[in-house]
Amino acid sequence: MNKVILIGRLIKDPDVRMGTNNTTIARYTLAVERQYRKNNERTSDFINCVALGKNGEFTEKYLHKGMKIAIVGSWQTGNYTDKDGKKVYTNDCLVETHEFAESKKNQPEEQSQPPVPSPEQDTSGFMDMPSIMDDELPFN
C-alpha cells in the first residue's frame, strides 16, 4: 500500500502549468514539522507535491503561500537526465485530496485569498430553507 498523509504549510505560491491534453499541473512545496525537536528547536521536512487535473485547478484557485493544509496522496519516485547528462532522482507526493487545516482567521495576515462565495451568492441552484420548516422535518 502506498498512502501518504501530510499536514503542513505552503512555503510559496504553487507553480501551475498546463500539461498535455489541457491537464492542469500544480506543484508546490509543503513544510511539514517533525514531531520531535532537536536541541529544543523545531525542524521541518520540505515535501514536493504534485496535484493534477481538478486537484491542480483547486490548488491554483485556493492555495497560497503560508496556508496550512492537509493532503492525502501517494509517494512517487522518478528520475531523468538533465542537460549536463547527470541522472537526477525525484521524490514527490502525488496529491489525491486537499483539505484546509485551519480556519481563515488563524492564517497569516499577509496572504490574500480569493473570497469564498457566501450562501447568498451560491450559484449551485439550491436555496436556503426557511427556519420555519425545521418543525416539519422528520429528522429533527
| pLDDT at position 118 | 46
Write down the pTM of the prediction.
0.70
CATH hierarchy code of domain 4-110 = 2.40.50.140
pLDDT (tens digit, 9 = 90+) per residue, 2-58?
A: 999 999 999 999 999 998 889 999 999 999 999 888 788 889 999 999 999 999 999
Per 3-state DSSP, the chain is made up of helix, strand and coil in percentages (nearest 5) of 15, 45, 40
Count CB-CB contacts under 10 A for residue 16.
17
> How far apart (Å, rounded) are the C-alpha atoms in residues 51 and 16?
9
pLDDT (tens digit, 9 = 90+) per residue, 114-134?
A: 444 444 444 555 555 555 445
Domain ranges within the chain, ordered by starting residue: 4-110
| pLDDT at position 32 | 95
| pLDDT at position 20 | 84
Three-state DSSP string of 33-88: ECCCCECCECCEEEEEEEEECHHHHHHHHHCCCCCEEEEEEEEEEEEEECCCCCEE
